[in-house]
Each structure stands twice: as structure tokens, then as C-alpha cells.
Amino acid sequence: MSKERFIERLCANAPKAESHAEIFALRPLSIDEATRNAKRLINATAEVCKTSLDRADWVTQGDVTLAHLPLGGRAVVYHASGAMQVMTGLATMASLFEKVESRERLQKLVESVAERLGIQRFVQEGGSLSFERLWQIKAAAADRNNKTTEAVLCRAVGAWRQSVGGLPILGGASVAVKVAGGGALDSVAMQLLEPQVDAMERAALIGPDQAAKQVFLQLESLLGRSKVSAAEIDAEVEPLRLGYLHLGKRKTQRVLAPHYVAAVTIRGEEVQAYQFVVPATERSFMPMCVAGSQPPPPQLRRAA
Amino acid sequence: MASFGVEAIRYFNHARAAGVSTAGDLTYTFNRSNGFDNQLRAGGLSRAFYFANTDCWETDIRDSDQGGDDVTYADKVDLFWIETHGNHESDGRARMLYDTPQTQWRTWSNQWQLGENWNAEWVMAYSCETVDRGHITGLWNIFAGMHIYCGAYDLMWDAWTTDECGEDVGHNLITGDTVSDSWIDGVSDWATDNHPITVCVGNAATWNNGNIRWDLSYLNRDHLWGHGNVEPDLPPAQQACILYRWAEG
């Protein structure tokens, strides 16, 4: 695909950006505050499960706090971000659905469990949370004669997206609620950010075409020197998305700034799937680790 | 003490220069592999090896009977983590790319035979499409005592949102999740379009004439050594079915 075609596809249906967007400072959460939030989530989980989960054994392990809950459940609090998870302790293949349900029914099911958990109450003022996507975990089997069984539905997972100032906060699901058969709660995970109500700045945005050029440069860099140039690679390109970035559970983040995100797939002999991130502002407000990590020092491979 | 090994390839410049593949480099390979390594060592496992880039050789997973050296590497550890570009053949064989030809540029799963007399219980491959759900039995030969293969039946993304996947999988393992849950939950952030799958074999009691006893399966019962139950090995003669569990969105 030529560079021009690549850029054209990235920009097709790209969100129409305003000329400016707000930059928000994020309120840092102390470990105590994050743990209090986790206790609220454990209490909400206990209400949904109609069981007592108040006898927790809390331990700090490195950059997380763990709570071992009754019935094999646990909660995890990530110190860097305040993200948290509560698992109820259901066995992996227990509480299967009686049959594979329609997506509509499953979405209603996960939404009803999420409502009982009160996930919206965990979103701070000025933010919002909207349903984004339904996932399903299924299982099947085959015998030696390649006789395959019908798939069974193990879990339905609802994913919600937090938005601030009209833009989504991109990254992992802001809230994920995993539900087993009969509507039993399997787990809930939250990585909600707490932006200050007042923006710290309004910054000028670059257009999608400028961002698309940077994405092409990043792809070209990864494809490196080859007998086939980047422009000859047949890539599937999804339109650019514009949103704030959440850097993950294990990273401390102080600022929310808008970025463009591109998804590029290449299906050759090797299948490749990349996401690229480009600041949507003329100047950069938050450090992105686009260099990636390096491995530990090499060990002796073996005697030749 | 249980042990694990890591092989992770970020750069493919030699494969490209040799005209073997047009595959691009990756960015977050070592974010994932280092995170996995850190968690497992924190969980009390012993790292037997961590090879990177051209130090990863296809012979490390190829069966010793077929000219490989799995007895020293992939089949010598309880858990083997590999990250590279992948795909599968039309008959369901997995294949993965290396950046050095030792002695081939790629590995094919018909040359794997894991768990036979050796250690391997679990292999985790952060690579695209190494499992073909339409030809799942094409992977059967790899289970010579090994319990679960954790891979992908479609894309696995190299993205800023997947840089913590290795750490998440490792953390799940050392906090008592099953191996199957650890993989599927750990590589899923329920936003990025990853397609994890876990594949294992089961005996006749598990197959139960097609009315699967999921409760007996490795998917339901296998945990990391030291962090929960581990089922006994199932020799090929006792294997009656292949079971698989996946996430789709």
C-alpha cells in the first residue's frame, strides 16, 4: 500500500477533531485511598454475591496489595494507578451457561450485574462510563476422529469505557465485569482515572493527516530494511481513534492528554498486529515509552 | 523447585535481510517477557534461561528425536514462554519465526513433542494465529505429557495496552489462578482485540462420550507448581480428546 493510500485510509472516518482539547491533571491516589476504593468494591461484590467477604487477609507484595477473600476469592490493588480487581473464586470451568446465549441477552445480563455492582458510582464528577463491548469465553472439544462438540459458554465479559470532556480514555477496558452462568459474578476489574474537574490547559490539536504521517513513519521504522518496502506491504488499516490515553495499571500517570491511536494489521506469511500512538497535541504533555524495554543481560547460550 | 524458560524475539532484521520474511520488528516484546520473568521469579520459580533475539533458536523447541534440543530447553522446564511472530499451516500445525536459522528460520509444531520423559507442562506463545480452531487436532502431537498449550487463534497485538500482559499472566499464575485463566485473563484487557486460546488433552473419562466432564480437565484443574493443584501427566495412549477454551469479542 502506498504511503498516500495508507494515510488516506487512516484518516477515512477519523474523528473530526476540534481545534483544541483540554489537558487534565490526574489526582494521585494514595495506597490508603486505593485500598478504601477496593474495600468498597469488595462490599459491592459481596452484596451481588449475597455472601460475606469482610474477612479479608491483606498483604502488600511489591507494587500491589492483595486481599485473600473467603471462598477462594481475592482482590488486587495496583499502587501506581489505583486500578483494582475483585475475583470471587469461581472455578475456571464451574457455573457454565446452560446454552450459548444471544449477544443481546448477554449484554443485558452483564449490564444488570454491573448495575447491581454500582459501577457508575465509582466514576468521579465530570466523567462518564458507557458500555463498549461484549466478550465471551467459550470452550469445545474434539476426539481422535475429529468429532467436535458444540461450544459451551463459560463466561460473558462486559467492557465499559470512561470518557472525560467528550473524549474516551483509551487503553484497557475502564471496567470489565465477568459473569458466569445463572448471572453469577466471576470478577470485576476497574481502572478508572480521576481527572481534576478543571482542565489545566487547552492545547491546540494537530489534524489526523499529520498524525497519520507519523504513524506511517513508525510502521516504516518497524518494517526496517527489507527487500519489500513498507509501501509494498499489504496492510489492513483501521481509522484513527482520538482519545485520552491510560498508560496501564502499573504506571503512575499525572496527566491526561489527547492522542491518536492507529491499528494496523499485516497478514503475510507471518501475521502482525500493531497499535501506534501519536500525540494529538502540537506539544507533548506526557511521556510515552515508545522505545520498549530491552532484555536482561545475555546469558551464555551454550558451548558451540 | 519448578523452573521456567523465556525466549523472546523483538528484532527480525536478519530474517528480512535474508528474504525469509517481511515481518516487522516489535516494540513491547521485552516489556511483556521481562514482566513475566519478574513475576515468576517473585513467585519462587527458578529461571532456567532467558534468551533474546538471535539467541532464540528453533532447535530449542524441536524434539530431540527430530534433530532438535528440546531436552535441554523447552522440554527441560515446567513452563516455557515464547514471543515472536506466528501463524499456522492449513493442517493446523503452528509455526513461528526466528531471526536466525538454527537450523531453520521457522519452527513447525509437528516437530514438537513436549512432556515425554521430560518436564514441560505448559507452553505459552505470545504470537498471532498459532492455533487453528478449525483444525485443532493438528496440534495433538505436541502433547506427549505436556498439559496445556497457551496461544492465539487470531491476532495478538503489539501495543502500548498489551505491554503489561506478561506481568499480568505471571501475577495470575503466582496468585493461584488456573493456567488457563491466567493466560486468557492475563493477555486480555477486554479492549485490545487479542484472541487467546488454551488447548489441552483429556482422557476417556473427560471425553465422556462427547458429554465433556470439564471439571476433570487440565483447563479447570491445572495451576502453576507451588500455587495450586497440578494434575498428573497424561501419556498419549490415554489421551482421548483435545479440549480448548478461548475468548472472543
Question: What does the alpha-carbon distance between residue B49 and residue B57 come to, in Å, rounded to a whole number?
Answer: 13
B220 closest CA partner among A143, A79, A50, A154 = A154
Q: What is the pLDDT of residue B63?
A: 96
Chain A positions in Cβ-Cβ contact with residue B245 (cut-off 8 Å): 92-93, 137-139, 154
A105 burial via Cβ count (<10 Å: 0-12, 13-18, 19+): exposed
Give the pLDDT mean for A141-159.
Answer: 96
Instruction: Give first-to-last CA distance, chain A, whole Å.
Output: 43
Identify from A79, A148, A270 which residue to disrupt to test chain B contact, counting B C-beta atoms within 10 A and taking the largest count: A270
**Cβ neighbours for B183, distance < 8 A, ≥ 6 positions apart:** B124, B150, B169, B196, B198
* Whether residue A159 has pLDDT greater than 80: yes
% of residues, chain B, pLDDT over 70: 100
Q: What is the pLDDT of residue A289?
A: 67
Which range has the worst mean pLDDT, A8-17, A184-193, B185-194?
A8-17
Identify from B10, B47, B185 which residue to disrupt to test chain A contact, counting A C-beta atoms within 10 A and taking the largest count: B185
Question: What does the alpha-carbon distance between residue A256 and residue A81 come to, in Å, rounded to a whole number?
Answer: 13
> Do B50 and B5 form a contact (C-beta atoms < 8 A)?
yes
Question: What does the alpha-carbon distance between residue B178 and residue B222 come to, in Å, rounded to a whole number?
Answer: 6
- The complex's ipTM works out to 0.97
CA distance B24 to chain A (A): 4
Q: What is the pLDDT of residue A17?
A: 67
Which residue in B has a C-alpha nearest to residue A295's C-alpha? B30
- DSSP labels for B95-127? EEE-SS-SS-SEEEGGG--BSSSS---EEEEES
Which range has the worst mean pLDDT, A108-112, A132-136, A205-209?
A205-209
Question: What does the alpha-carbon distance between residue B70 and residue B92 come to, in Å, rounded to a whole number?
Answer: 21
CB pairs under 8 A between A and B: 229
What is the per-residue pLDDT across B148-186, written as a single tens digit (0 to 9) for each? 999 999 999 999 999 999 999 999 999 999 999 999 999
Q: How many other C-beta atoms can be found within 10 angstroms of the C-beta atom of residue A98?
A: 9
* DSSP code at position B179: H
* A303 close to B (CB below 8 A): no
b/e map A230-250, b = 16+ CB within 10 Å = beebebebbbbbbbbbbbbbb
Across the interface, do B31 and A293 touch by the CB < 8 Å criterion?
Answer: yes
Which CATH number do you get for residue B44? 3.40.50
* B-contacting residues in A 196-225 (Cβ below 8 Å): 219, 222-225
Cell of A32: 490508603
pLDDT bin (cut points 50, 70, 90) of residue A14 is confident
Q: What is the pLDDT of residue B180?
A: 98
* Whether residue A107 has pLDDT greater than 50: yes
* Whether residue A304 has pLDDT greater than 50: no
β strands within chain A, DSSP E = 20-25, 57-61, 64-68, 74-78, 84-87, 127-143, 152-164, 167-170, 175-179, 185-190, 201-204, 235-237, 241-245, 255-256, 258-267, 271-279
Cell of A170: 483509551
Spans of chain B, pLDDT less than 50: none
CA distance B194 to chain A (A): 10
Q: What is the mean pLDDT of chain A?
A: 93
Domain of residue B236: give its range: 3-246
Q: What is the pLDDT of residue B181?
A: 98
**Cβ neighbours for A146, distance < 8 A, ≥ 6 positions apart:** B137
Q: What is the pLDDT of residue A175?
A: 98
Q: What is the pLDDT of residue B132?
A: 97
Across the interface, do A142 and B137 touch by the CB < 8 Å criterion?
Answer: yes
Cell of A97: 451457561
* A295 close to B (CB below 8 A): yes
- Number of domains into which chain B is organized: 1
